[in-house]
């Protein structure tokens, strides 16, 4: 009787160990699957999106279409809501303590630096400039002599965008300012050019040139 009882006890003990081992194996498999699914959900791979996050994006009007295209093509579990907001409007929002977007895409790094300096609020730069655009002057036929940007700004009939609302239109003014700093021009010449430019804008409609 003692031998049979001992053998039965060993069989029960062995069965219990197998049950525990199978249970631990199933638990480990469930944990691994949970980690994988959570990772796929965060990455938005294979349609796994448990908690989709809404992200508001403000982009300069001139580059709105490009930012919208990038938002449509972006992967991951995010829904991007893109709207056109100029640098001037963004500065007004910050000054008025209004709700700000999650991401702001200005058309120039200078705009970010200017706004940060004006409102005394540092911004976290997610990505530095990814493109550059040359600033040129186009003319019908032979144009006047323009050895510097300072002289270019005083060209009669010069049409350009609003430098307050457009980083592209602000570029020639920044270039002329740097010419003064490098002594290629004088502050008096720059002031005279800016006066001519302001007079030209005052006599033109508010619709910016294309």
**Statement: residue 83 has pLDDT above 90:** yes
Residue with tokens 């730069």: 125
Instruction: For residue 160, tell me if it sits in a domain.
Output: yes
Q: 106-135 pLDDT, tens per residue?
A: 888 877 887 777 777 777 888 888 777 788
Does residue 102 share a domain with residue 58? yes
Q: Which of 119, 137, 165 is the last residue of a domain?
A: 119
Instruction: For residue 76, tell me if it sits in a domain.
Output: yes
User: What is residue 58's predicted lDDT score, i.e. its pLDDT?
Assistant: 92
Q: Looking at 44-186, list the stretches that DSSP marks H as alpha helix, in order from N- to C-terminal side.
A: 64-73, 87-95, 109-119, 149-153, 167-181
Instruction: For residue 168, tell me if it sits in a domain.
Output: yes
Q: 19-41 pLDDT, tens per residue?
A: 445 555 554 444 444 444 454 44
**Statement: the pTM of the whole predicted model exceeds 0.85:** no
CB 84 within 8 A of CB 66: no
User: What is residue 139's predicted lDDT score, i.e. its pLDDT?
Assistant: 81
Q: Which of 119, 137, 170 is the last residue of a domain?
A: 119
CA atoms within 13 A on the CB side of 11: 6
Instruction: For residue 95, tell me if it sits in a domain.
Output: yes
Taking the C-alpha atoms of residue 4 and residue 184, their distance in angstroms, rounded to an integer, is 108
Q: Which of 97, 119, 141 is the last residue of a domain?
A: 119
Instruction: For residue 71, tell me if it sits in a domain.
Output: yes
Instruction: For residue 141, tell me if it sits in a domain.
Output: no
Instruction: For residue 175, tell me if it sits in a domain.
Output: yes
- Domain span including residue 70: 51-119
In degrees and rounded to multiples of 5, residue 107 shows phi and psi of -90, 0
């Amino acid at each position: 009787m003692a031998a049979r009882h001992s053998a039965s006890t060993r069989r029960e003990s062995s069965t219990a160990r197998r049950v525990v081992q199978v249970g631990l194996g199933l638990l480990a498999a469930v944990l691994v699957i949970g980690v994988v699914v959570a990772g796929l959900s965060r990455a938005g791979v294979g349609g796994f999106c448990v908690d989709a996050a809404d992200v508001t994006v403000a982009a300069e009007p001139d580059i709105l279409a490009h930012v919208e295209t990038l938002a449509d093509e972006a992967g991951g579990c995010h829904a991007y809501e893109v709207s056109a907001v100029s640098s001037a409007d963004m500065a007004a929002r910050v000054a008025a303590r209004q709700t700000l977007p999650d991401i702001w895409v200005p058309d120039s790094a200078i705009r970010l630096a200017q706004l940060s300096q004006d409102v005394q609020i540092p911004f976290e730069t997610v990505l530095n400039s990814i493109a550059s655009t040359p600033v040129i002057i186009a003319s019908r036929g032979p144009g006047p002599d323009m050895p510097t940007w300072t002289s270019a700004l005083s060209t009669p009939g010069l049409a350009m965008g609003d430098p307050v609302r457009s980083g592209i239109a602000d570029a020639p003014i920044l270039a002329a300012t740097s010419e003064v700093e490098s002594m290629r021009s004088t502050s008096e010449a720059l002031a005279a050019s800016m006066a001519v430019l302001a007079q030209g804008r005052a006599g033109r409609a508010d619709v910016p040139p294309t």
